[in-house]
Structure 1
């Protein structure tokens, strides 16, 4: 109820601004555009064999459904958006890696009101308040999730300034805590309905500026994010109070493209949800770099590298494991769902990727990524495995990814099929006999099929 009252208060605040603004600002348009409605349905089936996780069934098979229904009203200089997302899963086994990433029933992820002013020189200022989803930049640290069955959502305010030279944004939010959470597994698997809520135990704020370089198909961005997370009596978490400063450069010309992004993170954090004692000094970073080239009709090759630090020594009173905040990964690191071998934390991963637009409606992707731990003594995060001695090494293995998508232009639906194969490395050999990293030599296989309708 606190979160709903806060959302209502934010909407009232924005409504008070609808008729007031800077005298240097003009209204954006001359008439109402009215109501619009939309809907989206996605069905997916996933199969996994010989998991890399510490605790997992030998074979796993789940079905997922995600339904989104939205309504928007847009006038000349203000509007509102309401959007409900229903995410469900069936067929999970007792040790299936099912959680709030997969199930969240009948949740209003967008319930927002916005007001826009147009400046005389053509730039615009937009204030948005309420429940909202957000994408920023590369989506590596802040994203509305796509492949994942549920979405990150927030409650707060967002101010955006758009001009010919670039875009600036500032925001202050309380992230929505999905309920039931992973500790209430039976309620979650029974798809019990509870409204998500926001509270003062979790805050996320930030600002960014993305500058479009004159005369170039290039941009340079800088961002600063703050994230605070604390335990609640019913929800133990890895407490954190972190600041993340990053920058991203993009360039494209004549069929070639280049991207470089890096971020440094500092503050205090606990290494795990069950950790006791004082928070540790936190110093971590991540980087991504790639170069791409069009080499034939519809064919693009990309070579790149990702690294995100891990905790080098569990006993030194510091935590160097990078926190990925509210970012997405499937678009770049491979399918998530019940697979999800790679995550932007304790990772070193060079990759080669080929994307082919075979026809106007068909897309193919083939990628190979070598996965290794940045810090061998830290967790293999997605596998919940750890060898504190480091004797298991850092070699997770080679990950292959293949997908095909058909998007017929004359129909509002798409068909997709794909899979991933993890050729396990020495880390899974069981050489060190670490209790949290027993032998699991059989390679992991993952397959999925998906249908997606838009109305």
Structure 2
């Protein structure tokens, strides 16, 4: 009974400190200044030292407990970190020596070689254990995770066809993030909070929730984590059960349907639950979820969309991951129409079900340079969208080869297809719905997404140094249906700020289906593990659809409103980005 009382006392102290952190978080939400944001998070780090002191008070009592209880607070098995900075060597400890004697587990997880399809880690890459940040006082605090990140991006856009107004735009985007999470020490209970402050300056257009979302939470969840609930796999890796509830921003599969949207200045997030059986290191895993997307309110605290539920089940089979990883899944969404909805889609009752399948891997002998890598998916959507029957599908395929040379040259070819509405009067909606997936890899300038599109692409990547990389690509774009819309064209987006004037669709199909082509180039330079920079450029060559829709829309010189500045449709997009992890 004595050791139970010690444990209870310890939990009371730690939960009290955790409550203090959460209450401080709520107070921070009332502040709107980014500088205050960072000073406040530095206060969090000082606060964690107090938590460590509370732990040390009871540590002498815990020494009498069984070794299994000691390991809860001292060991961290199976967690993967993408940081280049390695934690300090702890090989002198008895536990580290014991772990060296045993065979290290081997993960089944293999990343895809296809372009931009690997999900962000959980927690994100900028997050670190407090023991790894290099401060001596925190070297034993392995159960607390912290992170601070800042990103600045400058963009130059010339005659951006996403806008009805031509000319030049020179916006600056600022995004600040902070993370604090506790795991293992209170197992099975864990929690994490992630703050984000997104702002845009020098933008001549109306600010939307794509660019601005001041001082909000994108993660705020609690979870129950049972490390060995399902035993171990045949490589002796624990297979856990994890049940997470709250607000969550994360990515799965190839990011085409659930994504944080890392390029965009604001982030997709959801409120609901997520149940995982197994983890990415295991030979199989099942991910179940039911969530409501969060409305980004720009200057107010974000709220869940009570009219829409997003749900699904995602399987991962990695038994043969050296050759192929298989991901069968089902996703769906059910929406009750909101009479006050901003867009026509918001005002519809909708129910969409999507079974899908993805497979990726490498062809060839594992002991030799592989012949080719591949990544393919197919998805079918059925249900209803208002009075229309939903009948749509989409698929992707990428083949590539990284050649066995020091500079790691890679050549790849991609083809993506998603149906558009074939006929606005046939009682069917054939427009493929990308749900909450990413947009940018379809087109770097954000003109196209995974709907009503046919696009072949070729890419060439080169990495002459671990800190330096070059990317070149060329893409062609057709509309799958000439009678449906080109998504982000002439203010025809799904923003909750800018009204859609309807210039991005020709219901007659007479404007044609060839939208254009684009050259893309990027230079990536990472001078330190905590600082990365990107310089990018894209030139879009307008096709017949873009040119004809600009010509057919009312000209601003004629005094109409809304109207379009008539121009060629060709655009230039130049950007420079700096990403800094501060811990």
Report the TM-score when normalising by structure 2: 0.66
In the comparison of the two structures, how many residue pairs are matched? 405
Could you tell me which of 252, 255, 262 is aligned with 1:136? 252
Determine the structure 1 residue equivalent to 2:102.
none
Residue 153 of structure 1 corresponds to 269
TM-score, normalised by the number of residues in structure 1: 0.84
In the TM superposition, what is the alpha-carbon distance from 1:426 to its structure 2 partner?
1.6
3-state secondary structure, aligned to 1:382 = coil
How far did residue 421 of structure 1 move?
0.8
In 2, are the aligned partners of 1:130 and 1:156 still within 8 Å (CA)? yes
Deviations along 1:232-291, whole A, 9 cap, x unmatched?
35433403321111100111253421011011111112xxxxxxxx43111111110010
Distance 1:219 1:29, change over 3 A: farther
Deviation string for 1:39-90 (max 9, x for gaps)? 0000001111122236133222211000001111112533211111000011
Matches within 5 A, 1:41-440: 41-53=150-162, 55-76=164-185, 77=187, 78-94=189-205, 98-117=207-226, 118=228, 119-121=230-232, 122-162=238-278, 164-180=282-298, 193-214=299-320, 216-237=322-343, 238=345, 239=348, 240-253=350-363, 254-255=369-370, 256-269=372-385, 278-295=386-403, 296=405, 297-330=407-440, 332-335=441-444, 339-383=445-489, 384=492, 385-408=504-527, 410-430=528-548, 434-435=552-553, 440=567
Output the CA distance in 2 between the equivalents of 1:28 and 1:423. Answer: 63
- Higher Rg: 2
CA distance in 1, matches of 2:170, 2:246: 37
Q: Structure 1 residues 198 and 29 mapped into 2: Cα distance closer, same or farther (>3 Å)?
A: farther
CA deviation map 1:394-419 (0-9, x unaligned): 111111111111112x4511111101
* Corresponding residue of 2:146: 37
The answer to whether structure 1 residue 452 and structure 2 residue 558 are counterparts is: no
- Structure 1, unmatched stretches of 5+, are 1-25, 181-192, 270-277
Relative contact order: is structure 1 or structure 2 higher (C-alpha 8 Å, sep ≥ 6)? 1
Partner of 1:187: none
Distance in 2 separating the partners of 1:431 and 1:67: 38
Q: Matches of 2:253 and 2:70 in 1, distance apart?
A: 26
Aligned partners of 1:391 and 1:432 also within 8 Å:
no
- What per-residue deviation string (whole Å, max 9, x for no partner) do you get for residues 329-377 of structure 1? 22x2232xxx311211110000101111121101111111101100001
SS at match of 2:166: coil
Structure number with the higher strand fraction is 1
CA shift in 2, pair 1:70/1:390, >3 Å: same
Deviation (angstroms), 1:433: 6.0
Task: Name the CA distance, whole Å, in 2 between partners of 1:373 and 1:451.
Answer: 34
Residues of 2 paired with 1:157 and 1:356: CA distance?
41
Structure 2 unaligned blocks of 5 or more: 1-67, 75-141, 233-237, 364-368, 493-503, 555-562
In the other structure, the counterpart of 2:87 is: none
Contact 1:387 1:434 in 2 (8 A): no
Moved more, 250-259 or 65-74: 250-259
Residues 388 and 217 of structure 1, relative CA distance in 2, 3 Å threshold: same
Deviates more, 1:32-41 or 1:387-396: 32-41
Task: Please give the alpha-carbon distance, in whole angstroms, between the structure 2 residues aligned to 1:294 and 1:34.
Answer: 38
Contact 2:231 2:240 (8 Å CA) reproduced: no
Specify the SS of the correspondent of 2:178: strand
Change (3 A) 1:28 1:285: farther
Q: Please give the secondary structure, in 2, of the residue aligned with 1:322.
A: coil
Contact 2:448 2:486 in 1 (8 A): no
Q: 1:215 to 1:350 in 2, by over 3 A?
A: closer
- Identify which range, 207-216 or 103-112, moves more after superposition: 207-216
In 2, the alpha carbon distance for the partners of 1:232 and 1:262 equals 31
Most deviating of 342-351 and 72-81: 72-81
Cα distance in 2 for residues equivalent to 1:298 and 1:109: 36
Contact 1:428 1:440 in 2 (8 A): no
Counterpart-to-counterpart distance in 1, 2:322 and 2:143 = 37
1:431–1:420 distance in 2 versus 1, CA, 3 Å: closer
